[in-house]
Amino acid sequence: MSMSPGGSFVRRIPQQLERIWDTVRDLTTASPSRFAVGVFSLLILIFTALLSLPAAAADGRRTALADALFTAMSTICVTGLTTVDTATHWSAFGKTIIFIGVNIGGMGVLTLASILGLVISKRLGLRAKLIAAGDSNPLRAHGGPVNEGQTVRLGEVGQLLRTVALSTLLIEGVIAVTLYPALILAGIEPLAALWEAPFYAAMAFTNTGFTPNPGGLEPFADDYVLLTILMIAVFLGSIGFPVIYTLARTTWHLKGWSLHTKLTLITTVLLFFAGAIAFLGLEYDNPGTFGSMDAWDTTFQAFFLSAMTRSGGFSVVDIGELYGSSLVVGSMLMFVGGGSASTAGGIKVTTLAVLALAVWSEARGRASVEAFGRRIPSDVQRVALSVVAWGATIVALSTITIAQITKAPIAEVLFDVISAFGTVGLSTGLTSELPDPAVYVMALTIFMGRIGTVTLAAAVAATSRSQLYSLPVERPIVG
């Protein structure tokens, strides 16, 4: 009996699908960093299409491509910047899409890629485990044997991935339950608060900063209970899943804390207080921000602004009214961002800590960089330098390009660009007024800022090879 041409074609379809599946499975284990970029790109395209639907807009009209793409980018990359007003432009369906997208993006680039890779390949290969551990602590994953003191050991990667998903749901749930009565006391209708509480919880923990109600947080400017809950949620999201994982295992036993946990918490707290003191000293007499407040209000709002510039994205005062000096301080805080493998962006606090320790060791004439009885290897310092150089290059190119397109004041452009790179979400008001070409540049800045530093660190860590020979030494003049 002869097979018809149609039957032969039908038989070839499963074979082609199997080859495609094998290709994707190989990609998850061969290049998790590249796979992570592909996953985020695909998610952004999907959410752009969803936000372009007429049902996603409050007026029932199709949203312009530039606005839909930018919002999707800001959502998946948990940034919070927007070219349209979130509360009034999007319908309930559109806000639901944003809510779902923020939680997906909040899991992290390589964490999400590792989960999908695990589903596809049924296992995590050695290289994938190395890079998954790298997302947990990019500055500690490097060539050669994995150090037992690493924040997350290879055998614990699967447990970490489960911890990420469960802790996200648990923490956001607790925050939502805590926020609900605070919203009721603030005058929000009980039915509306049932939606706004989990929305604010997700935006706070993922450090995104979208607000579902008109006016953002301005109606809650004097509600210190609600603002304090948001600050705590932002802090938990910004310290990173490895730190949460370590604290959950060791509670307050400081001796059980890893070096990564110590550096993250100490640097985060120092920057929090330093930022607050700086804003307090610079803005206390500014009539557009703190000038009309009493001493207590000024102090609290300075701490709130410091917390939000770390990647939170919420704002009570008008950022466009800040003095230029405060914009510079805010830009510096946003560039640093939060902890590694967190929902925050920036170059990460551990990167800053490693470089600061390297400078301090050099000033004291020490041959090695040490902290808390541990030596930080030189390849970690090289990764930190690479991350800073990568971030500075992105910010510089984006600032020059957008400034040339818009001819806007350079201080405002720089602030919004660093806010995009650090996935913060604060804006001087410039982003909502950008022309389409500048919108696409800003969207690309968000994408590179969110995945660039993490994948760069992981790629450098995973591809570093041992060299069995050394070249002759020659010292160029530096400084």
Residue whose pair of structure tokens reads 């790109």 in the numeric block: 41
The predicted structure's pLDDT at residue 402 = 96
Largest CA distance in the chain: 93
Collapsed DSSP state (helix, strand, coil) of residue 376: strand
| Helices and strands counted in the chain (H then E) | 18, 2
| Residue 125 covered by a domain | yes
The predicted structure's pLDDT at residue 135 = 46
Can you name the residues that pair with 57 across neighbouring β-strands?
90
Report the distance separating Cα 10 and Cα 179, nearest Å: 55
| Residue 119 covered by a domain | yes
| Residue 475 covered by a domain | no
| Residue 469 covered by a domain | no
Burial of 398 (0-12, 13-18, 19+ CB in 10 A): buried
- What is the chain's length? 479
The predicted structure's pLDDT at residue 26 = 64
Report the distance separating Cα 434 and Cα 259, nearest Å: 43
| Residue 382 covered by a domain | yes
Can you name the residues that pair with 374 across neighbouring β-strands?
371
What is the count of structural domains for the chain?
A: 1
Give 316's DSSP letter: S
Give 80's contacts (C-beta < 8 A, 6+ positions apart): 74, 203, 207, 208, 209, 210, 313, 423, 424, 425, 426
Report the distance separating Cα 436 and Cα 234, nearest Å: 31
| Residue 466 covered by a domain | no
The predicted structure's pLDDT at residue 163 = 66
Q: Which domain holds residue 432?
A: 23-141+156-461
Question: What would the DSSP string read from start to end of 46-112?
Answer: HHHHHHTSGGGBTTSSPPPHHHHHHHHHHHHTT----SS-HHHHB-HHHHHHHHHHHHHHHT-HHHH
| pLDDT tens, per residue, the chain with 479 residues | 445 555 554 455 666 767 766 666 665 555 556 667 777 888 999 999 999 999 999 999 999 999 999 999 999 988 888 999 888 899 999 999 999 999 888 776 556 655 555 555 555 555 555 555 544 443 343 333 334 344 445 455 566 566 677 778 888 999 999 999 988 988 888 888 898 999 999 999 988 888 888 777 888 888 899 999 999 999 988 887 778 877 877 776 777 788 888 999 999 999 999 999 999 999 988 998 888 888 889 999 999 999 999 888 898 888 989 999 999 999 999 999 888 777 788 888 989 999 999 998 888 888 788 888 888 888 788 888 888 988 999 999 999 999 999 999 999 999 999 999 998 989 998 998 999 999 999 999 998 888 765 565 555 555 555 556 667 877 687 66
The predicted structure's pLDDT at residue 25 = 62
The predicted structure's pLDDT at residue 42 = 87
Neighbours of 266 (CB within 10 A): 14
Question: What would the DSSP string read from start to end of 125-154?
Answer: -HHHHHHHHHHH-TTT--SSSPPTTSSS-G
Collapsed DSSP state (helix, strand, coil) of residue 289: coil
* Distance linking the first and last C-alpha atoms of the chain: 83
Give 315's contacts (C-beta < 8 A, 6+ positions apart): 209, 216, 217, 305, 308, 426
Can you name the residues that pair with 369 across neighbouring β-strands?
376
Burial of 212 (0-12, 13-18, 19+ CB in 10 A): buried
| Residue 315 covered by a domain | yes
The predicted structure's pLDDT at residue 139 = 36
